[in-house]
């Protein structure tokens, strides 16, 4: 506390000292130009007083800002922050433990659920007054964009994130990509002897009734997938019509798809890449391929909400994401690092060696309702 006061006082004195001569000089100029008779002394004094007041106010503002910034540097982050996420619970817990090695005084409360439920909670809290989370992190960038339109994010560029490609500092540094996930094709090795090699292969009659994929109505990753392929030359909605004709089964979310390809309920699936490696590493008979047309990169942004009560700790958490330690942990957990030159997880080619597709942000933003209704029409119609 004493330190803070000292710093504040020092800054105040410096600033005041720097300002004082200008203040006095400014108001005197007009006073000199005009004859003294027309401009009584009282008025001049009043004006001078006004200007001085204004300047003092401004100085106070500047000082407050400076104090805040200095506090951040001097005081280590502490307190509690709350994270709403749809990331796998175990992986987030590992990450928080690693973060706490760097910032032992910050408690991170994690609320983990599917994207849909997290969004529902955020919307309900928004209506009730204020979102209770400090940070949010899940795979529906379109929802982030909507929140950004209401100016609900803090603009912040995390330390160490400059090396990341500019396109992943989404929406003017409101939210960031911290590691990459891709939609790829996985298959059960006990059921599939000739695996597909491309997204088009899923239409092959030999895989009729054997393919599963997550629902665009529940999964952010699946939504991005449909929104991209529906507008891609050579694919389009006809591709989904054909998938439906080939007996594709729609599962709710990626977790279910992952479990069902492992158990053999699905032979071939569209799934997020790390999930396929996870079940393989656990011992289930699952392999995955990087489709010829490209693996779809699924944005999974994390951002600080502007309503945060503890921006200091939230920023520290964002900074941590780009540390060596965090990026290495991500790789260990099966993710591809967002930073060039970090070794990818075992079994993953270098990003330069496989084709990466980016989501069709424009089409998705303009056709959000259409994508959902078409998907529902094709794969969601109730049966008798």
Partner 1 sequence: MDVGMKTATSKKQVDRSRLIQSTIFFLGIIIFVLLLALIIFPSWTLIKTSLTANKQFSFQNYGELLSDSSTYLALKNTLFVSSLGSIGATIIGVLVAWLLARTDIPYKRFWQTLLIVPYLIPPFIGAIAWVYLVGPVGYINKLWIAISGTIRPLIKIYSKWGIIFVMAFYSYPIAYMMTLGPLRQMNPSLEEAARISGASIGRTLRDIVIPLMIPSIGGAFLLIFMSMMANFGIPAVIGMPARYYVMTTKIFLTILNYDKANNLALAAGLSMLLVVIATIMMSLQRLLQKGKSFSIISGKSSQPQLVALGKWKPLAVTFLSIMVIGTVIAPLTAIFLTSITRVIGIPLTADNLTLNNYIQVVVGVAKVKRAIRNSLLMAAGSATVIVIISLILSYLLVRVRVKGSQLIETITLLPYAIPGTVVALALILAFLKPLPLIGISIYNTIWIIVIGYITRFLTLGIRSISAAFEQVHVSLEEAARMSGANFITAFKDIVIPLIKTNVFAGWFMAFIPALTELTLSILLFSVGNETLGTVVFGLHQEGKVLMTAALAFMVTLIVLTLNFITNKVTKNQMGF
358, 364 in Cβ contact below 8 A?
Answer: no
Q: In this complex, which beta carbon is closest to partner 1, that of residue 157 or of residue 372?
A: 372
By CB under 8 A, which span of 68-76, 278-286, 339-347, 348-356 interacts with partner 1?
Answer: 278-286
By CB under 8 A, which span of 30-38, 73-81, 164-172, 281-289 interacts with partner 1?
Answer: 281-289
Interaction residues for partner 1, span 342-371 (CB under 8 A): 369
Could you say whether residue 146 binds partner 1 (CB under 8 A)?
A: no
Interaction residues for partner 1, span 15-74 (CB under 8 A): none
By CB under 8 A, which span of 11-19, 239-247, 256-264, 291-299 interacts with partner 1?
Answer: 256-264
By CB under 8 A, which span of 50-58, 110-118, 223-231, 299-307 interacts with partner 1?
Answer: 110-118
Could you say whether residue 308 binds partner 1 (CB under 8 A)?
A: no
Contact residue for partner 1 among 285, 307, 342, 356 (CB under 8 A) = 285
Contact residue for partner 1 among 264, 345, 354, 367 (CB under 8 A) = 264
Could you say whether residue 283 binds partner 1 (CB under 8 A)?
A: yes
Could you say whether residue 384 binds partner 1 (CB under 8 A)?
A: yes
Angle ∠(161,163,167) on CA atoms, nearest 5:
80
Size of the site for partner 1 (CB under 8 A): 48
136, 154 in Cβ contact below 8 A?
Answer: no
Could you say whether residue 204 binds partner 1 (CB under 8 A)?
A: no
Three-state SS letters, the chain: CHHHHHHHHHHHHHHHHHHHHHHHHHHHHHHHHCCCCCCCHHHHHHHHHHHHHHHHHHHHHHHHHHHHHHHHHHCCCCEEEEEEECCCHHHHHHHHHHHHHHCCCEEEEEEECCHHHHHHHHHHHHHHCCCCCCEEECCCHHHHHHHHHCCCECCCCCCCCCCCCHHHEHHHHCEECCEECEEEEEEECCCCCCCCCCCHHHHCHHHCCCEEEECCCCCHHHHHHHHHHCCCCCCHHHHHHHHHHCCCEEECCHHHHHHHHHHCCCCEEEEEHHHHHHHHHHCCCEEEECCCCCEEECCCCEEEECCCCCHHHHHHHHHHHCCHHHHHHHHHCCCEECCCCCCCCCCCCCHHHCCEECCCHHHHHHCHHHHHHHHHHHHCCCCC
Contacts of 17 by beta carbon, 8 Å cutoff, 6+ apart: none
CA distances from 2 to 5, 7, 8, 72 (A): 5, 9, 10, 16
Q: How far apart are alpha carbons 247 and 254 in whole angstroms? A: 19
Instruction: For the CB of residue 84, give the shortest distance to partner 1 in the complex, in Å.
Output: 7
86, 138 in Cβ contact below 8 A?
Answer: yes
Interaction residues for partner 1, span 75-94 (CB under 8 A): 84, 89-90, 93
Instruction: For the CB of residue 1, give the shortest distance to partner 1 in the complex, in Å.
Output: 35
Q: In this complex, which beta carbon is closest to partner 1, that of residue 10 or of residue 263?
A: 263
Q: In this complex, which beta carbon is closest to partner 1, that of residue 271 or of residue 297?
A: 271
Could you say whether residue 287 binds partner 1 (CB under 8 A)?
A: no
Contact residue for partner 1 among 81, 83, 87, 116 (CB under 8 A) = 116
Q: In this complex, which beta carbon is closest to partner 1, that of residue 106 or of residue 261?
A: 261
Could you say whether residue 219 binds partner 1 (CB under 8 A)?
A: no
Q: In this complex, which beta carbon is closest to partner 1, that of residue 167 or of residue 381?
A: 381
Instruction: For the CB of residue 314, give the shortest distance to partner 1 in the complex, in Å.
Output: 19
Could you say whether residue 107 binds partner 1 (CB under 8 A)?
A: no
By CB under 8 A, which span of 99-107, 321-329, 353-361, 374-382 interacts with partner 1?
Answer: 374-382
Could you say whether residue 123 binds partner 1 (CB under 8 A)?
A: yes
Contact residue for partner 1 among 81, 87, 108, 112 (CB under 8 A) = 112
> What residues make contact with partner 1 under the rule CB under 8 A?
84, 89-90, 93, 110-114, 116-121, 123-125, 128, 188, 190-191, 251-253, 255-260, 262-265, 279, 282-286, 369, 372, 380-384
């Amino acid at each position: 506390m004493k330190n803070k006061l000292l710093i504040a006082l020092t800054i105040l004195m410096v600033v005041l000292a720097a300002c004082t001569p200008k203040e006095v000089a400014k108001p005197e100029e007009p006073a000199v130009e005009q004859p003294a008779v027309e401009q009584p002394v009282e008025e001049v004094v009043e004006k001078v007083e006004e200007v001085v007041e204004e300047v003092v106010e401004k100085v106070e503002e500047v000082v407050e800002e400076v104090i805040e910034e200095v506090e951040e540097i001097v005081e280590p982050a502490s307190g509690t922050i709350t994270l709403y996420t749809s990331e796998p619970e175990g992986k987030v817990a590992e990450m928080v433990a690693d973060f706490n090695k760097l910032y032992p005084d910050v408690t991170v409360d994690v609320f983990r659920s599917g994207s849909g439920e997290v969004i529902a909670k955020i919307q309900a809290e928004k209506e009730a007054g204020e979102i209770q989370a400090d940070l949010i992190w899940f795979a529906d960038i379109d929802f982030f964009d909507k929140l950004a339109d209401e100016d609900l994010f803090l603009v912040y560029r995390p330390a160490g994130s400059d090396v990341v490609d500019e396109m992943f500092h989404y929406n003017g540094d409101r939210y960031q990509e911290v590691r990459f996930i891709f939609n790829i094709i996985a298959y059960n090795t006990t059921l599939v002897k000739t695996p597909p090699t491309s997204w088009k292969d899923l239409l092959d009659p030999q895989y009729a009734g054997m393919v599963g994929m997550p629902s665009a109505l529940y999964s952010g990753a699946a939504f991005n997938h449909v929104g991209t392929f529906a507008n891609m030359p050579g694919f389009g909605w006809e591709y989904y019509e054909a998938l439906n004709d080939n007996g594709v089964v729609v599962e709710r979310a990626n977790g279910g798809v992952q479990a069902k390809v492992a158990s053999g309920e699905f032979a071939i699936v569209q799934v997020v890449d790390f999930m396929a490696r996870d079940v393989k590493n656990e011992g289930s008979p699952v392999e995955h391929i990087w489709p010829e047309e490209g693996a779809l990169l699924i944005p999974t942004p994390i951002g600080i909400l502007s309503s945060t009560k503890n921006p200091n700790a939230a920023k520290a958490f964002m900074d941590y994401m780009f540390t060596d330690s965090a990026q290495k942990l991500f790789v260990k957990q099966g993710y591809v690092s967002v930073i060039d030159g970090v070794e990818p997880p075992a079994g993953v080619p270098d990003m330069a060696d496989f084709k990466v597709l980016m989501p069709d942000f424009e089409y998705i933003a303009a056709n959000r309702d259409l994508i959902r209704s078409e998907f529902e029409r094709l794969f969601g119609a109730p049966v008798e």
